[in-house]
Amino acid sequence: MATITPPLFLTLLFFFIFSGSVILEPANAQAPTQQTWCVAKPSASDVELYNNMYYACSFVNCDVIHPQGACYEPQVLINQASVIMNSYYQKQGRNYWNCDFNKSALITIVDPSYGNCKFDSQ
């Protein structure tokens, strides 16, 4: 059985990394064509959800959850918070860290849109 000596191993590793033959990506990277959404965790407290909405609304337009907005009804906090948290996540580039909200959110590959309330996606 042939063994690879450390210098040969390092040479091969260097070759693969810098030749472009191997593309290294972070483990949490999303597939470029995969749609993802950010939603509130069912276990999130009302205080967390209000704080998340307050924070995200300083970066995104929150008219969608105001009266006459497409996501105003039903007036369920977790639904409205999810819409706003997702808007923030989408606007910030769909990075997993933009859907953390102090551990009160999660990323889904299932479109959470309902009725006339359409969640942004890219």
Q: Does some domain include residue 75?
A: yes
Q: Does some domain include residue 5?
A: no
Give the range of the structural domain holding residue 80, as residue numbers without chain letter: 28-108
* Whole-number pLDDT of residue 67: 96
Q: Does some domain include residue 100?
A: yes
Percentage above 90 pLDDT, the chain: 70
Distance CA 47, CA 6 (A): 55
* Whole-number pLDDT of residue 55: 98
Q: Does some domain include residue 72?
A: yes
Closest C-alpha to 53, from 76, 70, 36, 25: 76
Distance CA 74, CA 55 (A): 22
pLDDT in tens, 17-69: 444 434 444 445 555 568 999 999 999 999 999 999 999 999 999 999 999 99
Residue 120, C-beta contacts closer than 8 angstroms, at least 6 positions apart:
86, 87, 90, 91
Q: How many residues does the chain have?
A: 122
- Backbone Cα Rg of the chain: 21
Q: Does some domain include residue 3?
A: no
* Whole-number pLDDT of residue 121: 82
